[in-house]
Structure 1
């Protein structure tokens, strides 16, 4: 077997040498491009330095040949190596930006979507908002055949939103990711999507729930052989135990995370995870006063940090660890300087949890340096951000999700017992059901919450609109009253003086014109405001109006009017009068009726008004939705002002009946 391995290695070396010769000697750029492609295939997963070198050479040559899609394909393949393995996300950014600048030449939806996806991954540790924008663009640009990559984009989008503290869009993204992975039967990544929800339980203070669900995920990882995910899960368990104040469990899971990471193959280790874990252990031992153990992890951090990317997130962990170690060793000024650098870098990433921890650290370091004013300043910022991030609405929302989740889970367990189905260690089918129930419950809860908020908003909007309409009617009536009084007392009196003067002069023709003008002014004044209400009362005012309509229009009007005087206040009487007046006006203008009838009936605690005609009728819904048809809407608003009810009975060609019931109590 050893001999075979040596032979295979020798053959591979010969092929490498051959293709390198072609690259260095050939004058045909296409031949060189093919040779570089072969070199990339030979070195991928073998030598990261050679693989990235040949990839860069290929990308540049492809761009020179205007083969932008070929260059894009190689950028997508090498992006992970630059971003995660070589810790050079800035190289990924440079490569993706150079190709996206020529995206009009890329017709393949997979290539365009993947360029945005890889750029989002490169920006994840630097600027979460930019990462969110890129993941959205990835979803928009992928085609219908790119389901797996759309699922990835939604998963990463959920993680970015979650780290930004935007839990509702995060939950929505995780649900969509889960749905895609379920359709693809990718159980490992279904578990990733479910873990996103668990993280949000933790972020909203449901620590026990998060720990319980994460324990289930840890067992599933073990059973499925996905040990590379254990380090992060153990680390997150430790963080939740810390938030619960259980220092013993915190250390237990930090050490489990450390042991898990140590046993990983080198290719599965990342400097980000190492620095994150080492800094958490250093912080723990520093707070416990164990300077010797803290020093051990500080050395590990220093060694790892040298070879890592200097991303803002890595810098924040590094400077945070240095600050805690300085505090533990009494170097308070150094601690303050490191704490300030930690905040400076984490603000670039915009992780709200880490910003909170930075504010708390600055509060403690300023206090240790006796800078009490600055210490109070950062304590205030800490409290303010914590309140804004974990607001009551979001917490209640997730609490509701949790309740529905428990209900669905209880149902599932009862069904399992009744049908004697045992949950086996590697039973992916049952796991799929569990995650499905959780997702459905959470989507239902989110939908109910949105429906409730929308209904409340519509109700408030409707109430506000009704109050505005009623206030407008009242204001309009007052303005009519003022104008009517001005016409009657001002212009009317002046016309009377002119009439008297003409009478003494004997100009009968002009006097007749003035008489007609006076009558017209009086008619306008009466229409603007029914002064006969004050003079005669509501009953006589209605009878007078009906008589005027009957005598002065082609409409024959009959009436049956009970005495309703002293049942309503003046504002109510005006609205009742207007209801009858405007109903008759609508008949005259639109009904083409020959006859109409008005009845006012006094009942117990109610007055019933009915206005009928034998005209052409109309379709109520069509008429009410017509923005130009304000008559019906005004009648409805006046009825609401009186706390009454309005009913309309009408069909085209059968006449119309308006019924108003107005309470007297």
Structure 2
């Protein structure tokens, strides 16, 4: 996303220059080489996959349909990037787009790359039948021994998930009998580990134990933390019934390695083991950490989906404008101006979203942000894109409708950004908290705040300040949406070792078992996260009283 922000002015200049030049085949090939070289550079750097996707898409946009092999290659690379970033549905759509070119490039290795991407996407979406189907299509193609072994291992993993351990053993046993020269050491260790796990789950514990330890030995010698995680998790599960201490020790090693590699999926898998193996209090801490990582992943994945859709949307819009420039030379200035206005609006929309990207991970533990992005923006963007694709933009009314739609999208994005903005901690926190509380004063609701200025907020840790801000924000949002309250009182009191906050309103209230339904479960989770306590007192039509207490 940062790449798009940085290069949008350059793209305007590029569009203008291209419109003024001869676009012969030689020129298109030169541009293709520039784009593809940048795409490969960013792809290989791994951390710039969004930029790689951008340039692969640019390369595809200037590739003729007659260049089928090239089209399949570009779509395969784009699908792999989307899969890596967690946009499995988008990856499926991109890979499927390549099918129309398959009949012209029957033996291309890129076809099997497409099938492989589809297989792993379906596997991640729990559509195991389709995953196996596309893995089998890969196996029928011209792929290397290493690729074949990887696909077979992936199939075996599906059968492990489905608890069909005999089938997993049937696939994996022949693989470890191959020559070691057919493998990289790390790939061999992966197959040995999965076979050992299959034996263990199939009640052949002795054989399973030997292979699990063999895989651990190889991975440890290679100092590969990414692969060690799998060994630690499998051994933790192996020891769970006979030696809980050792089972937990392996789970802790898995979490330590996952933190080294900074892999959210591996951290969550390790935390699930620790939640099951720990005492209640410690288990709750692991659970809270799991929830934070999971919420952050959901937000990142949703933003990735929007990001890839936006890149393709921008590119399609550029293509459409360039085609119009070819046909209507006399209107070039007007078309460029219109494109510039639309693109600038998109630029500001992306900049607004980037402000949200820069928030700390701790701020993004609520899935409601992701839900709001989906509910309030995705449909509008889709509808606007559909309108652009199907309507004549030379029509003044249609152009005006497009601008109005983009303006509405921009307005909604600004609103979301403002409501989830940065929380200033330290000496400015008290004033900001008061500002938050008083912002809910209106003709319909009176908010009274007592005792906030008596609290020495500078002595409260920053993470606690942030959680209290979020908690009170949640309560006020819930009040505004559901309570129909006319009067709200928020009072603060400093005790010897704790801070006490009392919230009261005269709204409709609710039964206690409806806490989750009313959106207050997040409030309870947050206060537990800072070792505080919370009690709810409410009955239908008798208002709501909440007592919060947390250590200084």
TM-score bracket relative to the smaller structure = 0.3 to 0.5
TM-score (norm 2): 0.47
Higher relative contact order structure (alpha carbons within 8 Å, sequence separation ≥ 6):
2
